[in-house]
Each structure stands twice: as structure tokens, then as C-alpha cells.
Amino acid sequence: MIALCGIIGYIGNQKASEILVKGLKHLEYRGYDSVGVAIANEQGIDIRKDKGMIDDVSINLGFVSMNGHIGLGHNRWATHGAPCKENAHPHFDCTKKIVLVHNGVIENYLRLKEELAAKGHRFVSDTDSEVIAHLMEEQSKTDKPFYAFIKSLKKLKGSYALAVMFADDKEHIYIARKGSPLIIGVGKGEMFCASDIPAMLNYTKTFIPLEDGDVATISKNGYKISDIEGKAVERKSITVDWDLEMAEKGGYPHFMLKEINDQRHFINETIATDVSAAKELVDKCDKIDIVACGTSYHAGLLLSYLLMRKGRNARAYIASDYQFIANPDENTLVIAITQSGETADVLQALKFAKEKKTKIVGITNIVASSITRIADALVYLNAGLEIGVAATKTFMAQLAVAYMLVYPKEKLENVRSIIAGMLEKENEIKEIAAKLKDAHDAFFIGRGISVPIAYEGSLKFKEISYIHSEAYPGGELKHGTLSLIVKGIPLIAIAPDDETAPKLMGNIKETKARGAIVISITDNPEIKKESDYVIELPKIDKDLYPFAEIVPLQLLAYHVSVLRGNNPDKPRNLAKSVTVE
């Protein structure tokens, strides 16, 4: 199940509603099926919310006309209950004096709901989140807000990032984190909280990421952090040097296209990242297990191939299955690859690995994300913020890190110009996209180190075009899939002129004979002749082909998506950071 949501809270002297609306725009990647804000003022608490995206709902309901200096906002990604006005956050208790926003899943909500209903509480939504407001209402009968808050938290099973306001206590916002990210933004005479840093970057560069189990109270002039018993804890603040422009589209129609083009700019920053601690662990461990999901898994698979080619005992696992099939011990190094650093499947695999006493290397793009607190050694991707749900530049950065764990950095010195050269082929790729846009199925093949690239090309293609697609090592087609290859089916062959080319040529011929339209990404003269469309690869170090191959596949997916009228930045049913197993 996907459970995401974006939370923001503000307390200070500015108009809270304006800050919340701007922040929610930056959190839209975390969920965009419904949105709402709550503002507290002398009249009480006003909630406005509805199904839809922030731009539309905000205008229709006049969010920024709401007056007040303290408020909460929320972008929802439905888990419990359909996307609709009632299920949108914020949620009230019965008295409308307590209001909250929540990200996560409350596993025992049904039992709590029954108990509260028996005490006379009335529920207006199907969400698990609403029960927390009623729990606090019940607890507030005997306790002041902070204690009502922590006593309620103790009754919850599951995960949460929570922010709560009380109509009778307009000087504080109460927040807590367990299993879902929440960060305090420290301003001057004002304080923020949000699921992610970009939502607050307009106002401050100083942040305090909460840890699991933390509870905090924020007020205009400060914050207090404690554990769930109310015992004070110290958390370090961090200062980031990102500016908001990095999170803007920079003149491109979509974040995804900007991020594909960004690849030529930041790759040298990735190559400059410090891999020494991670490499030391890689060099000395007997056995290497790589865990990751989706796009990050494809980077992990390539890393496993590079290590295996060097004779190392390495294997890539889909993170969600790791605990069921792997057998790590204290001599195993687990390398976790996750751009967000928050993917629940990866964190669960690492929990399992920790119990087996493995060492852990974390590869992530997000400073202060959950994985950074678990890993023994960290490698930052330095790719800048990635807003498009489809991972592109972070995949490229993951590839670069994978290579740096196996080869000396110098090997990558031409990667930037390889990427730049491939980006120049956008117009011809757009023409090929026009031929593919009405396809119902597509197949991607490669061999050797091009197989993870075929997998990634296929994932990118299907997730934003909504065209069914599959990827295989070329040799596998004849073991079943060939029966699906009929006249007009697009076959995208990742066919560099390396030792795989002669065998891949055979696979291409098999599909041509059955009427497939062959699009080759190749620099092999024979394969070029056999293909209907060619995207030319440069003559480069054969180990580096994946850096060139992935760029046209990203562009192809992007343009097919746009030609089909989709929004590639926000593919249906998907979200950027998947924080529930």
C-alpha cells in the first residue's frame, strides 16, 4: 500500500494561509488527490479542504483569504477512504477545537474508533487519522494539550507524522514523528514544520529533522523536543545550501524534462561525492547484498553485475523480499540504494539486516532522511532535488556511485560529455516517440550490463506512458515471450557494440521475422542495418555504455507520455516517496 502525504505547519507573525499554500505546492509530489488547510484565529479554527490539487482547491475555497498567524496544511494521498472532501485533512474532533494533519497509517484505528464511538464520538470520515483527533478530545477532558497529545500518541499503533493545533492554545503547534518524516524549520520569530525541506526553503535554511519517537512543541520563538514520555532530547540542526530555484522547473514544461537535462550539470557533483568509507567496506567484506526498489533496484542490479564481473560475491535483492530469501550475517555488507532515503521496504530490509549484525552502506540523495540514521557509511548522490515522480537524474547519480564503488573515479571523467551528447538527440527521439505513442505493448531487450538499463527503460516507459511494457535479457525472449511478438509490436533493443552485440543481433532478427518494429540504441553497424529506427551511441569505453543508453530511454518515455496527454511529473497511482510497505 502506498501511504504518502505532505504536512506543513506555521506559527509566527505572517499570514499563515499564504505560507501554507506555497508550502503545499512544494509538497505536492507527496500526494495530490486532496488538499486542505486549517487556520486558528480569534473566531476559532476554520478548515477548508476538498478533493483535487492545491492550485484549484485553493482558488475555489479561497485559502489565502483565511486570516490568522497559526495554521496547518496537508496534501493527501489516499490510503484509508476514497479521495473526497470528508476524507481530506485537516480533521476535527467533535468539538471542533482540536485539529490535526497526519501522514502514515494507524494500524489499530478500527478498534480505537469503536471504543471512541461507544463513548459518543461522531466520525465524519473513513480515515484512520480522524480517530487521533477524537482520542485527543477524550484525553483533553483531563489533561492539558501537551499531555493530551503524548497520552494519545501512546495509544497509537502504526506510523505517523502528526501536527496538531488546539483552539484554546493558539501559541503552540504539537508535532510528532514515528515512521514518517517530519522536520522543524527554524525562523526568526516564526517556526515551521513540514514533511520535507523544500516546503520551508522560502523562509529558512535551518532545519531540525525529528527522529522516530520524537515529540515537539513549536511556538513563535522556539521549540522543545522530547521523547514520548515528555523527557527532553537534543537534536542537531542542519543548514542547507539549496535554493528554491533548484526545485523549480527552470523553463522546462515539466520537472521530468528539466531533471533529464540536469543530468549533464550535476553529474560532476556526484562524481565528487565522498565514497571512501563505503568503498573501504565494499573492499573488505566477503559478501555484498544490495537492497533497493524500483529504479534504485535497477542501479543496484547494475552494481551487482559490476561487482560480479570483478569476481565479488554480490547479489541485488528487491528490498521488500530481502527478509524472505536472504541469509546475511556479520560478514555481509548490505548496500541500500534509495534516493528518498525514506522507502519503507528498504528501511524494513535494513531492520532485518541490522538484526543479523551486517554492516550497512546507504546511498541516498536526501540529507537527514531516515536511512542516514541507520547506515554505517553514507554516500550522498548530490543530484539536487528531484521533483518528478519518475526517477531520472537520481538514477544517473546512482549509476555513477555504483561505478565509483568498483572503479577509480577517473574512469568517469568523460561521463558528463557522454550525457550531454545523448541529450542532443532529443528531436530525433521525439520523432520516434510519435511512432510509439499508440502502441499497446512494448518490449525492451539488452544483454550483460545493458540488462538493468533495459529494465529501467521499460519501467520509465510504462509508468508515465501507461503503455504495457516488459524487459528481458535478449536470450530470454525465445523461452516464452516471443509468442507475444507480432506485427507492429515495438521492440527497443539496447545494443552497444560490445561483446553482447552478436547475440543481441540474433534476438533482433527473431523479432524482426515476426513483424516487430525495431528501435535500436546502438553503435553496431550490423544492428543499425537491421533496425527500423536507430538512436546512435557514441564510441566510448565499453564499460560506460549504460550512461549513454539511459538518456534516450528517459527521453523516449517522457515524449511518449506527453504525446499521450499524460502529466509525466505525476503518473497516476504513484508517488515520489513510498513510506509504507
**Active site members:** 5, 576
> Is beta strand 441-446 parallel, antiparallel or unpaired with respect to 490-495?
parallel
Give the strand pairing for 215-219 and 169-178. Answer: antiparallel
Determine if the peptide bond prior to 253 is cis (ω within 30°): no
* Residue whose CB is less far from ligand M6R, 296 or 332: 296
The residue within the footprint of ligand M6R, chosen from 381, 396, 433, 578 (CB under 6 A), is 578
Q: Decide if residue 339 touches ligand M6R (CB under 6 A).
A: yes
Cβ 518 vs Cβ 530: under 8 Å? yes
Nearest approach, Cβ of residue 574 and ligand M6R (Å): 7
Of 97-105, 264-272, 288-296, 532-540, the segment contacting ligand M6R by CB under 6 A is 288-296
CB 464 within 8 A of CB 561: yes
391: contact with ligand M6R by CB under 6 A: yes
DSSP state of 361: E
At its nearest, how many Å lie between ligand M6R and the CB of residue 572? Answer: 13
216 three-state secondary structure: strand
* Residue 519 C-beta: closest distance to ligand M6R, Å: 21
The candidate with the shortest Cα–Cα distance to 266, out of 396, 455, 85, is 396
DSSP string, 10-43: EESSS-HHHHHHHHHHHTGGG--SEEEEEEEETT
Q: How many residues in the shown chain lie near ligand M6R by CB under 6 A? A: 15
SS3 (DSSP) at 342: coil
Q: Using CB under 6 A, which of the segments 92-100, 220-228, 337-345, 420-428 binds ligand M6R?
A: 337-345
Residue 215 or 346 having the CB closest to ligand M6R: 346
Selected from 75, 338, 370, 520, the binder of ligand M6R by CB under 6 A is 338
Compare residues 93 and 463 and give the one whose CB is closer to ligand M6R.
463
Return the H-helix or E-strand segment holding 192.
Answer: strand 191-194
Shortest Å, Cβ 464 to ligand M6R:
8
- How many Cβ atoms sit within 10 Å of the Cβ of residue 187? 20
Stretch that binds ligand M6R, among 26-34, 230-238, 384-392, 531-539 (CB under 6 A): 384-392
Options 163-171, 340-348, 415-423, 486-494: segment touching ligand M6R (CB under 6 A): 340-348
Q: Are 213 and 182 in contact (CB under 8 A)?
A: no
In the stretch 344-363, what mask flags binding to ligand M6R with x, by CB under 6 A? --x-----------------
Task: Assess contact for 469 and 444: CB atoms under 8 A.
Answer: yes
- Here's the x/- map for ligand M6R, 172-211, by CB under 6 A: it reads as ----------------------------------------
* Range 79-98, binding ligand M6R (CB under 6 A): none
Range 487-509 burial, b when 16+ CB lie within 10 A, else e: eebbbbbbbbbbebbeebbebbe
Residue carrying the nine cell digits 484549484: 56
Residue 271 vs 381, nearer CB to ligand M6R:
381
Are 535 and 436 in contact by the 8 Å Cβ rule? The answer is: no
- State the cell numbers at 78: 489516499
- Contact call for residue 293 and ligand M6R (CB under 6 A): yes
Closest CA to 54 of 80, 17, 81, 87: 17
* 3-class secondary structure, 523: coil
- Encoded amino acid at 397, one letter: A
Which region, judged by CB under 6 A, interacts with ligand M6R, from 12-20, 247-255, 386-394, 468-476? 386-394
- With CB under 6 A as the contact rule, the residue among 261, 295, 370, 531 that binds ligand M6R is 295
**Closer Cβ to ligand M6R, 41 or 567, answer by number:** 567
Q: How far is the CB of 562 from ligand M6R (least distance, A)?
A: 16
Binding mask 429-468 for ligand M6R (x = CB under 6 A): ----------------------------------x-----
Q: Is 579 in the site for ligand M6R (CB under 6 A)?
A: no
By beta-carbon proximity to ligand M6R, the closer residue of 19 and 389 is 389
Q: Are 208 and 182 in contact (CB under 8 A)?
A: no
Q: Which is nearer to ligand M6R, 397 or 477 (CB)?
A: 397
Residue nearer to ligand M6R on the CB measure, 112 or 366 = 366
Select the residue whose beta carbon is closest to ligand M6R and give its number.
294
Q: Is 390 one of the binding residues for ligand M6R (CB under 6 A)? A: yes
- Single-letter code of the amino acid located at 59: I
Contact yes or no for 63/23 (Cβ under 8 A):
no
Q: Which ranges constitute the DSSP H helices of 408-500?
A: 415-423, 426-436, 451-465
Q: Is 54 helix (H, G, I), strand (E, B) or coil?
A: helix
Give 15 or 460: the residue with its C-beta nearer to ligand M6R: 460
Q: Is 261 in the site for ligand M6R (CB under 6 A)?
A: no
- Nearest approach, Cβ of residue 395 and ligand M6R (Å): 8
Kindly state the DSSP code that residue 90 receives in the 8-state scheme: P
* Contacting positions for ligand M6R (CB under 6 A): 293-296, 338-340, 343, 346, 389-391, 463, 577-578
